[in-house]
Amino acid sequence: MQLVEREKLDKRIETLKQCYGNDRSALLPILQDLQAEYGLLTGLIMQETAHALGIHPVEVEGVATFYSFLRTDQKQGKYVIRLCRTISCDLAGKARVARQFENELGIRFGETTKDGLFTLEYTNCLGMCDQGPAVMINDRLFAKVTPQMVPQIIMDCRQDFLKTVFPEITPSDVQKEGPILKNALPFGEGLKKALTLSRSDVIATIREAGLKGRGGAGFPTATKWQLAGTAVSDTKYVVCNADEGEPGTFKDRYLLHAQTDLLLAGMTIAGYAIGAQKGYLYLRGEYLYLRKHLEKSIEKRRQSGLLGKDIQGKKGFSFDVELRLGAGAYICGEETALIESLEGQRGEPRNRPPFPVDTGFMGNPTIVNNVETFIDAAIICAKGPAWFAEYGTEKSKGTKLFSISGDCKKPGIYELPFGITVQELLEEVGGEDAKAVQIGGASGHCIPAPEFKRNIAFEDISSGGSIIVFGKNRDMLQVAKNFMEFFTEESCGQCTPCREGNIKILEGIELLEKGRCSTSYLNELIRLGETMQLASKCGLGQSSPNAFLSIVEHFKNEILGRVPEAV
């Protein structure tokens, strides 16, 4: 019997190899599909997959245990209920929703019901920060969940969702459109214009526009493209980082759905400019429900001659895009970790230099850009660099999409020019009473009211677009705790400052909660945070203490000397 099962499994793996490829880079999608079918990656599954790809089973287990959406220990239920526990959903009342799920199912988080129907799990940021608390059940998404909705949701699951009408994709709340969202471009315009230019002129156009990476780091896009484009190599890659995992960020979720053609056009333009033949769209596992839409859009462009061979009649220019799905690892938003993940490895960041433009996917020149960056690039090619440079500041040209959540009247997506002050932004979103604003997500900085005159721009406060507003009654220590719980969970564990430092800071916060932290120990924690900023290997570790340090700096009086609640 076991032999029959094994043969069946081997056949299935062979079919998946034909779909995803014969090399190591096919490992993650193969494991994802096998888990979906078998509910668990057993030792046998990992062993047979390893044999099929010619790697050691331990390597497969290393990968399978790295990603939170892959399971090797306990069979997952038919319905995996994933409740978002990050800051915005926390502010929106996640704790009571969690308690009600536990009450209804009679299990704790991390457990599966005895009938094998439900698994209850916490997950980090589902990208529904403006519509929290959010719950993902398999590939379906529930927004603004309340405790009283919980029994109905469970009943719907028991009836295979037959009685519930789901929107294919939960609508986004776009509160303010600007020149990018209101681009009104005819279909295919950006790519058409770009293909009339030489490769170097495309890059010169992007340079003249002053476009900087919209993921948050603000690296000049043209520089990235220029280095990859000039490098001598027959094989180059374009990668779209759609692993939008920063707590408080959800604008890419909207763009991936509403501006799909511009995104794919931007990737194709980048492919033309750098001389790449292949692009990967790395979509975070939490956005699984967007997969169908994206694959359909890619196929439509192939049929229209906008992807594939000799695109739009341009002889010799071939480019195609393949969708790859992440598996629940925040760290894969870091570009070298993303490339590792694409290659079928654990998503652990690489040493830099060399940078991905030089030695990226499979050792070839690779550019990795954010979803919004590709869209901006496509519009710039259509409308010209001067149009784009009209907006923003001297060093931060253009507009930026912001994801606004937390304690404000109008959360949602806003397109605003770079250079706007925090105060102006708060007036726009109805958050004038805020006592602090977290800019740049969990890895960003907490800005207190006296600093609301500062500008959101690369030359002052840089941001990938995540803005979380904290009202007057928010406990800033709880905010810091939520961020540090997030980083403790999401650290890849590769380097000591990040792996151990985040745990130590979280323990320190728990001491502060109990009113048992001396000032001298708090100072030790501050020094530890500063060491992490310097000594961690990648951006995650370097930025993970930011929120804690800025909260301690600005709200010391609020967090020290607490009297613990009576037991």
User: CB-based contacts of 244: which residues, under 8 Å, 6+ apart?
Assistant: 127, 250, 251, 252, 253, 284, 287, 333, 371
The window from 21-29, 281-289, 299-307, 351-359 that contacts other proteins (CB under 8 A) reads 351-359
One of 107, 149, 185, 204 touching other proteins (CB under 8 A): 204
One of 43, 106, 354, 561 touching other proteins (CB under 8 A): 354
The answer to whether 222 contacts other proteins (rule: CB under 8 A) is yes
The answer to whether 368 contacts other proteins (rule: CB under 8 A) is no
One of 355, 388, 452, 470 touching other proteins (CB under 8 A): 355
Q: What is the spatial order of strands in the sheet that 237-242 belongs to?
A: 320-325, 278-283, 237-242, 366-370
The smaller minimum CB distance to other proteins, of residues 21 and 220, is found at 220
The answer to whether 429 contacts other proteins (rule: CB under 8 A) is no
Give the x-and-dash track for 264-293 against other proteins (CB under 8 A): -----------x------------------
Give the x-and-dash track for 144-183 against other proteins (CB under 8 A): ----------------------------------------
The smaller minimum CB distance to other proteins, of residues 318 and 359, is found at 359
One of 117, 231, 362, 522 touching other proteins (CB under 8 A): 231
Which residues is 402 bridged to in the sheet? 414
Q: For strand 135-137 and strand 79-84, is the pairing parallel, antiparallel, or unpaired? A: antiparallel
The window from 61-69, 179-187, 194-202, 314-322 that contacts other proteins (CB under 8 A) reads 194-202
The window from 10-18, 165-173, 260-268, 358-366 that contacts other proteins (CB under 8 A) reads 358-366
The window from 113-121, 355-363, 419-427, 487-495 that contacts other proteins (CB under 8 A) reads 355-363
Shortest Cβ 222–other proteins spacing (Å): 8
Measured between alpha carbons, how far is 225 from 215 in angstroms, rounded to an integer? 16
Give the type of residue at 48. Answer: E
Three-class HEC string of 508-541? HHHHHHCCCCCHHHHHHHHHHHHHHHHHCCCHHH
The window from 34-42, 160-168, 357-365, 537-545 that contacts other proteins (CB under 8 A) reads 357-365
The smaller minimum CB distance to other proteins, of residues 199 and 300, is found at 199
The smaller minimum CB distance to other proteins, of residues 365 and 545, is found at 365
- What is the sign, positive or negative, of the torsion defined by CA atoms of 150, 155, 159, 165? negative
One of 17, 24, 207, 504 touching other proteins (CB under 8 A): 207
Residue 212 DSSP code: B
The window from 228-236, 242-250, 447-455, 505-513 that contacts other proteins (CB under 8 A) reads 228-236
CA 463 to chain CA centroid, Å, is 14
The smaller minimum CB distance to other proteins, of residues 223 and 304, is found at 223
548: number of Cβ within 10 Å: 27
Residues in the interface with other proteins (CB under 8 A) total: 23
The answer to whether 314 contacts other proteins (rule: CB under 8 A) is no
How many Cα neighbours within 13 Å face the side chain of 332? 33
The smaller minimum CB distance to other proteins, of residues 141 and 357, is found at 357
The window from 87-95, 219-227, 489-497, 506-514 that contacts other proteins (CB under 8 A) reads 219-227
Q: How far apart are the first and last CA of the chain?
A: 57
Could you give the 3-state DSSP secondary structure of residue 11?
A: helix
Shortest Cβ 442–other proteins spacing (Å): 29
One of 93, 147, 220, 384 touching other proteins (CB under 8 A): 220
One of 76, 100, 124, 226 touching other proteins (CB under 8 A): 226
Tell which phi-psi region holds residue 308, choosing left (phi > 0), alpha (psi between -120 and 50) or beta. left
Cα radius of gyration rounded to whole Å, the chain: 24
Shortest Cβ 368–other proteins spacing (Å): 15
CA 269 to chain CA centroid, Å, is 23
178: number of Cβ within 10 Å: 16
Q: How far is CA 293 from CA 1, 55, 259, 372, in A?
A: 40, 33, 11, 18
The smaller minimum CB distance to other proteins, of residues 143 and 204, is found at 204
Phi, psi of 226 (to 5 degrees): -65, -50
Tokens 């789901």 sit on residue: 166
Shortest Cβ 275–other proteins spacing (Å): 8
The string of DSSP letters for 120-173 reads: EEEES--S-GGG-S-EEETTEEE-S--GGGHHHHHHHHHTTTTT-PPPSSPPP-
The answer to whether 365 contacts other proteins (rule: CB under 8 A) is yes
The answer to whether 227 contacts other proteins (rule: CB under 8 A) is yes
394: number of Cβ within 10 Å: 11
The answer to whether 353 contacts other proteins (rule: CB under 8 A) is yes
The answer to whether 389 contacts other proteins (rule: CB under 8 A) is no
Measured between alpha carbons, how far is 241 from 473 in angstroms, rounded to an integer? 36
Shortest Cβ 274–other proteins spacing (Å): 9
Shortest Cβ 204–other proteins spacing (Å): 6
Measured between alpha carbons, how far is 88 from 468 in angstroms, rounded to an integer? 7
The smaller minimum CB distance to other proteins, of residues 186 and 353, is found at 353
Tokens 């792996």 sit on residue: 499
Residue 26 DSSP code: G
Q: How far is CA 491 from CA 43, 48, 330, in A?
A: 26, 29, 8
The window from 8-16, 104-112, 349-357, 557-565 that contacts other proteins (CB under 8 A) reads 349-357
The answer to whether 223 contacts other proteins (rule: CB under 8 A) is yes
Measured between alpha carbons, how far is 442 from 548 in angstroms, rounded to an integer? 9
One of 15, 196, 200, 496 touching other proteins (CB under 8 A): 200
Residues forming contacts to other proteins in the complex (CB under 8 A) are: 198-200, 204, 207, 220, 222-223, 226-227, 229-233, 275, 353-355, 357-359, 365
